[in-house]
Amino acid sequence: DSTGFLFQARNEELWFVHGHLGNLFRIRGGKHEAIAQFAGNVVSAMYEDREGSIWIGTLVGLHRLRDLNVTLHTERAGPSLNWVYSILQARDGAIWVGTWGGGVNKYEHGRFTPYRYADGLPSDHITSIQEDRSGRLWVGTTSGIRYFHDGRFEPIDDKDRLLQGSVWAIHHDRAGNIWFGTDHGLVKMTDGRFIRYSSHDGLSHDQAK
């Protein structure tokens, strides 16, 4: 099985999960070493926080790898759903965990706080999480985009409905623009205006992930 999940840490170490076997390897200095095994599991997200912990999202929960020790957080006392799809650490240190069907969770001071459809999200299937330069948190879902404000997720003024479907990726560039990868092309938000780029503008495919 040649499939897997590859992630590069800030110290340039490579972390690799080998296919459906779930073997986690660390590659450094041209050599690899086995670290852990997530047997029969599927890795859907990997993220390194500022202290150097590696967070691994899987179908059965959220794994935290710190000093080569693995801690598993599950629905019992962790995220609102085991299937973790996206992970981000905000500038205030909180870890945001997006799930595939259970909304998004904020992990802070050792506890998880869930946010779902009732809290303003258009869908509980979270596809992407990003923080812009002003500190505003953006969450992409299978039914559009929202930003976090005063404990709720608020919609943006999207008159042309360019961001009403799945938003698979979010990126804030150095010029202050925010880019959204959607099923219908790449959408750029600049000065409150939205511009869509599709295969007609040179993209190889309209689904931008």
Query: 25-34, 70-79, 182-191: which has the minimum mean pLDDT?
Result: 25-34
Residue 20 has pLDDT above 80, yes or no: no
Return the pLDDT at 111. 95
Beta-strand (E) ranges in the chain? 4-8, 14-18, 23-28, 31-37, 43-48, 54-58, 61-66, 69-73, 84-89, 95-99, 104-108, 111-115, 126-131, 137-141, 144-149, 152-154, 167-172, 178-182, 185-190, 193-197
Task: Give the three-state DSSP class for 165.
Answer: coil
Residue 148 has pLDDT above 90, yes or no: yes
Task: Give the three-state DSSP class for 78.
Answer: coil
Residue 179 tokens read as: 């880019």
C-alpha R_g of the chain:
18
What percentage of the chain carries pLDDT values higher than 90? 63
Beta pairing class for 126-131 and 137-141: antiparallel
- Predicted TM-score (pTM) of the model is 0.88
Rounded Cα distance, 73 and 55, in Å: 10
